[in-house]
Amino acid sequence: MAKRQLRLGAFMRPVSIHTGAWRYPGAWRDTNFNFPRLRYLAQTLERGKFDAFFMADHLAVLNMPVEALKRSHTVTSFEPFTLLSALAVSTERLGLIATASTTFDAPYHIARRFASLDHLSGGRAGWNIVTTSNPDAALNFGLEEHMEHGERYRRAREFYDVVTGLWDSFAEDAFLRDAESGIFFDPARMHVLDHRGDYLSVRGPLNIARPVQGWPVIVQAGASDAGRQLAAETAEVIFGAHGTLASAQEFYADVKGRMAKLGRDPEHLKILPGCFVVVGDTLEEAKRKRATLDSLVHYESAIASLSIALGTDASRFAPEGPLPEIPDTNASKSGRERVIALAQREGLNVRQLAQRLGGYGGLAMVGTPAMIADEMQAWLEDRGSDGFNVMFPYLPGGLEDFVEKVVPELQRRGIFRREYEGRTLRENLGLPRPKNRFFE
What confidence tens digit (pLDDT) does each residue in 251-307 have? Answer: 999 999 999 999 999 999 999 999 999 999 999 999 999 989 988 888 887 888 888
Q: Could you give the residue ranges of the DSSP H alpha helices within 132-224?
A: 136-139, 149-167
DSSP tag of 49 = T
What confidence tens digit (pLDDT) does each residue in 75-122 have? Answer: 778 999 999 999 999 999 999 999 998 887 899 999 999 999 999 999
DSSP tag of 405 = I
- Average per-residue pLDDT for the chain: 91
Q: Which residues contact 173 (CB under 8 A, 6 or more apart)?
A: 186, 189
Instruction: Tell me if 387 sits within 8 A of 8, measured CB to CB.
Output: yes
DSSP helix, strand, coil percent of the chain (3-state; round to 5): 45, 15, 45
Is cis: bond before 205, omega within 30 of 0? yes
Euclidean distance between CA atoms 252 and 289, whole angstroms: 31
Task: Please give the pLDDT value at position 11.
Answer: 95
What confidence tens digit (pLDDT) does each residue in 122-144 have? Answer: 999 999 998 876 666 667 666 66
* Local confidence band at 63 (pLDDT 50, 70, 90 cut-offs): low
Q: Which residues contact 324 (CB under 8 A, 6 or more apart)?
A: 317
Q: Which residues contact 26 (CB under 8 A, 6 or more apart)?
A: 394, 397
What confidence tens digit (pLDDT) does each residue in 307-325 have? Answer: 888 888 888 898 899 889 8
More confident residue, 344 or 57: 344
> What three-state secondary structure class fits 232?
helix
Q: pTM for the whole thing?
A: 0.89
Beta strand 95-101 with 125-130 is: parallel
